[in-house]
Amino acid sequence: MSKIAILGAGSWGIALSVLLHQNGHEITVWSIVEAEIAMLQKEHEHKDKLPGVKLPSDMKFTSDLKSAVADKDVLVLAVPSVYTRSTAKSLAPFVAAGQIIVNVAKGIEENTLMTLSEIIEEEIPQANVAVLSGPSHAEEVGKGLPTTIVVGAHKKETAEYLQNIFMSDVFRVYSSPDVLGMELGGALKNVVALAAGIADGLCYGDNTKAALITRGIAEITRLGTAMGGKAETFAGLTGIGDLIVTCASMHSRNRRAGILIGQGKSYEEAMAEVKMVVEGVYSTKAAVALAKKYEIQMPIIEQVNAVLFEGKTAAEAVKDLMMRDKKVEISDAMWRL
């Protein structure tokens, strides 16, 4: 049994707390919102974020960060990506040398273009930082539906240790040393999922969705490999796997927000209606900046950026994507003479 703190009481943090408790670990859930902790202590259910998923009576809840972190074997950082740096700053004084922090959020910081694990390593240099990513809606994990995911770490022993902690008969965990590729796949797929939702909001069909998924992973792979990620990562669970589930499911807040944007609402209106942090909105500008930095063509992501922040209509963006210059699909394939 390990002592684990879940830092962040959103839907994903709560779902993982249930999974890890079922695996036999001692769980403490922390939230900066005292009213949220009071509700969890009273109801043993997050009625707003994960209704219907009951939390065990021996699970602990606290708003005191120092006590949440003390003597824990693993810290699971489950705050929205926009709060990763501020939470890491607050966390830093309480983290012991070598203490494991598993980041489970997905995003890229807009002003620095850093991945979330890079932010954590910068703010908490004494920590042993890992990531958990893959096609995994909290609503399904909380109900114990079969899910497959990947844990990434720089050290093999850290990955294997975490693999054992998270693995269960309904939660299969692979390991990977490609932390960068995993994080880029997880962050960038949210932008493509916005595009998929926009297409749904425009009442386009399955052909459009398949095109966005396929060409979307091509864009993600081009950028990811240019930055040092492995092509196999983008063909795996944290690449195409995560992209498929996020583009296809109504559990996806990015897809739901995209639908509203496709119907004519602004991204602010869409996020207000979804009532959750829509990570893809915050990652879009960073993705465009990275594409420029590495001189990579990412037309889908560029059009999403134009719709979100430049006043372009969704219909105009789709037309411009369709009418781009003619291309070959496989650039290094040889024609017969």
Residues 100 and 169 in one domain: yes
Residues 171 and 184 in one domain: no
CATH number for position 152? 3.40.50.720
The pTM (predicted TM-score) of the whole model is 0.93
Please give the pLDDT value at position 279.
86
Q: 246 lies in which domain range?
A: 180-322
Please report whether residue 121 resides in a domain: yes
Please give the pLDDT value at position 278.
85
Please give the pLDDT value at position 15.
97
- Residue 87 C-alpha from the chain's centroid: 17
Dist CA 281 CA 267 (whole Å) = 8
Q: Per the structure, how many domains does the chain have?
A: 2
Please report whether residue 59 resides in a domain: yes
Residues 189 and 93 in one domain: no
Please report whether residue 84 resides in a domain: yes
Those residues of the chain that have pLDDT short of 70 are none
Residues 229 and 245 in one domain: yes
pLDDT digits (tens, 9 = 90+) for 250-286: 888 999 999 999 999 998 999 899 887 788 888 999 9
Residue where the block lists tokens 């069909």: 205
Nearest to 185 by CA among 213, 151, 220: 220
Residues 264 and 196 in one domain: yes
CATH number for position 255? 1.10.1040.10
Residues 55 and 78 in one domain: yes
Q: Which two tokens stand for residue 229?
A: 């990620």
Please report whether residue 136 resides in a domain: yes
Residues 170 and 186 in one domain: no
Residues 166 and 218 in one domain: no
Please report whether residue 292 resides in a domain: yes
Please give the pLDDT value at position 275.
81
CA dihedral sign, ordered 154, 86, 88, 278: negative
R_g of the chain, CA atoms, integer Å: 20
Please report whether residue 240 resides in a domain: yes
Known catalytic residues are 189
Residues 31 and 135 in one domain: yes
pLDDT digits (tens, 9 = 90+) for 4-62: 999 999 999 999 999 999 999 999 999 999 999 999 999 999 988 899 999 999 999 99
Dist CA 309 CA 327 (whole Å) = 27
Residues 53 and 39 in one domain: yes
Domain boundary pick from 177, 203, 229? 177
Please give the pLDDT value at position 332.
77
As beta bridge partners, residue 171 has 147, 168
Residues 220 and 142 in one domain: no
Domain boundary pick from 146, 177, 208? 177
Residues 233 and 172 in one domain: no
Please report whether residue 285 resides in a domain: yes
Please report whether residue 302 resides in a domain: yes
Domain boundary pick from 132, 148, 177? 177
Dist CA 34 CA 307 (whole Å) = 37
